[in-house]
Structure 1
Amino acid sequence: MKLAAAEINLSALRHNLRRIKALAPRAKVMAVLKANAYGHGLVTIAQHLQDADAFAVARIDEALALRAGGLTKPIVLLEGFFNANDIPILLANNFQTVIHNEYQLNALESAKLDAPIATWLKVDTGMHRLGIEPEQLDSFYNRLKSSENVKPQVNLMTHFSCADDVENSKTKVQLNKFTQLVDNKNESLCLANSAGIIGWPESHNDWVRPGLMLYGVSPMQEQVGAHHGLQPVMRLTTRVIAIRSLPANEPVGYGGRWQSKHATQLAIVAMGYGDGYPRHAKNGTPVMIRNQRFGIVGSVSMDMITVDIGDNKAGIAVGDEVEMWGPNLPVEEVAAYADTIPYELLCNVTPRVSYEYVDKNQA
């Protein structure tokens, strides 16, 4: 019996890319594939995003894995390089690098290269994580433009901190600040992440860089992907491995954090934090069995979760499939029960979960 499994729907993936292009029709698409393509499988996902204009990753090992997998599209290192010794590797593999600090700029200017490298200059407009200060823009920009190690076009970018909330004015402030800073520079601009694509059309500009929404998940607060015409790419499933009868007033699981109010039946399913399911998912977090929702009860264990199936009128039996999240149960909803975000759930799926790549249309 196949237990914990992640079904990755490549048809849904391509649908989501088409949806992104429809939302930002004048922009090129930089598909973000960092963190193993948000837990979906780096190389395989990239191989099925051939209509994207470029790929973006966080670190050089991810970029090298894409090249080793036969991907030839432009690849942007969103965090840039961390060591000057990596610069020749960037050139040899035709990687593009973000420049966001003085060390990177100095190292790139000083490198001995046979050809120039494409760059993206990142400005901090309010995220306060990576990026040069706004008052540094002209200096960095001019130095990059004059360096023989840098291709003539210096792309400009920033990152939104609150774009998932359309009521928050911070995004408008960041957008206005960036627009003013780059007003006299005729370069390609990239501002919009997934939330920017959906919530802030004025930020689309030349490039958009979707991450979460590629995988069918909403980046917006208190919404699910279906609200934006997206289809979930991952369907995480397992199986029922036991049915138990529980008398009234009996605890379940480690710490006895849930106690039955009346006699009930339990389905024990083969899934736990060892598979990446959130340990702190609350009592009542839904799962789908036989097209019905049931709530988990008790603590999530390493290998097992207990589900209250009541009088079991549904006829649930050992071997039945359990959908933990997917087309019938949005991962956004599960994340809310676990006091986390869907990004974390998708990225935390562990290697012991078997992956199956399918190509089928969703209803």
Structure 2
Amino acid sequence: MSRPVLATLDLQALANNLQVVRRAAPSAKIWSVVKANAYGHGIDRVWRALHTTDGFAMLNLEEAILLRERGWKGPILMLEGFFHADELPLFDKYRLTTSLHSNWQINALQNARLQAPLDIYLKINSGMNRLGFLPERVHGVWQQLRGLANVGEITLMSHFAAAEHPQGIIAPMARIAQAAEGIAAPRSLANSAATLWHPEAHYDWVRPGIVLYGASPSGDWQDVATSGIRPVMTLNSEIIAVQTLKAGDTVGYGARYRAGSEQRIGVVACGYADGYPRLAPTGTPILVDGIRTTTVGAISMDMLTVDLTPCPQAGIGTPVELWGKAIKIDEVAAASGTVGYELMCALAPRVPVVTV
């Protein structure tokens, strides 16, 4: 490796975060959500650190097959189900649990030739209005599914739009209760936020995602600071050049930053082509030689610049943490007007990744 940018994944932190979830929802089983290539961490790198989970939940059929080929024999839930009817033989072969959210999926399942019934997660639209059947339709769909030879165990499933808020699940829970009245079936409702903050939504299976990787579902690290959650991904680089500015000198594209007095600026080998947010403004927190400072000026494709005033000893080769244990990914995301989810998933393929 010549260019010094590097992402490090702490697999002990990942295993720890799973245990935090286990303590938060002790009576529920856990679907560890590893969609989007394990939120950018690499499903093949991290799944073994989550081996004590009860099941894995994802979107891509290719990733489900990868887990089976790596030796995972436990449940796998496909969160959006199958996208085309011709995928069902693979669902059958690899014994995948499928979400059902549309009439066409029911018809495809009814007409499929399967070796054994598939377990089903019947999706209820509780107000997010993305996927799922409206509450008033759930009883009819439930009865229809119970009559299909290709259907095994049926679990009721929904998703919350605002579980990070104290009152955020009240209305959705009422809709789910309406839909499920009289139906004796397991339930899986709780995402990361509901798992941490709404025990009344835990039921039989919880589905943590972002908390497994060490960020807050609310986008505010302080909300999980005392939970025991630990960051998994650290993005590091080094200073590759130093500039001494005079008062009035500018930095970077668009001359967005102007020095008010003489100032040392460090140039860091990391930019938006590595996955660092291009919209991160001057003042975004960053760690240089163990000292918190801030970015200055526009983020370039391959470089960004930092204020070295708090760390006068820093120079070429000084280590930099873009996000990780000291600079929380939620802090960088909030400064950039986005969420930690996006930054994790945006880590570029050109960034080397190591696990510890």
TM tier, shorter chain? over 0.9
CA distance in 2, matches of 1:227, 1:43: 30
Q: TM-score, normalised by structure 2?
A: 0.97
RMSD, matched Cα:
1.3
| Cα deviation 1:7-49 (Å, max 9, x = unaligned) | 1001001110101000000000000000010111112211211
| TM alignment of 1:1-363, pairs within 5 A | 1=2, 3-151=4-152, 153-166=153-166, 169-224=167-222, 225-310=224-309, 312-313=311-312, 315-358=313-356
| Cα deviation 1:72-118 (Å, max 9, x = unaligned) | 22111101111110001100011110000001011001112221111
**Displacement after TM superposition at 1:244 (Å):** 1.3
The secondary structure found in structure 1 opposite 2:46 is helix
| Cα deviation 1:202-250 (Å, max 9, x = unaligned) | 0000000000000111112533442322000111111111111111101
**Displacement after TM superposition at 1:272 (Å):** 0.3
The secondary structure found in structure 2 opposite 1:72 is coil
CA distance in 2, matches of 1:90, 1:159: 23
**Displacement after TM superposition at 1:63 (Å):** 1.3
What percentage of aligned pairs have identical amino acids? Answer: 40
**Displacement after TM superposition at 1:310 (Å):** 2.2
Distance 1:312 1:159, change over 3 A: closer
Point out where structure 2 has 5 or more consecutive residues left out of the alignment: none
CA distance in 2, matches of 1:165, 1:247: 47
CA distance in 2, matches of 1:305, 1:283: 10
Point out where structure 1 has 5 or more consecutive residues left out of the alignment: 359-363
**Displacement after TM superposition at 1:136 (Å):** 1.2
| Cα deviation 1:126-161 (Å, max 9, x = unaligned) | 01001111111011111111111011x201110000
CA distance in 2, matches of 1:248, 1:65: 56
| Cα deviation 1:233-289 (Å, max 9, x = unaligned) | 111111111111111101110110111111111110000001000000010101101
CA distance in 2, matches of 1:293, 1:157: 43
Instruction: Give the partner amino acid of 2:255.
Output: G
Q: Do 2:219 and 2:334's aligned partners in 1 also have CA atoms closer than 8 Å?
A: no
Q: TM-score, normalised by structure 1?
A: 0.95
CA distance in 1, matches of 2:220, 2:22: 23
Q: Do 2:221 and 2:328's aligned partners in 1 also have CA atoms closer than 8 Å?
A: no
Distance 1:256 1:197, change over 3 A: same
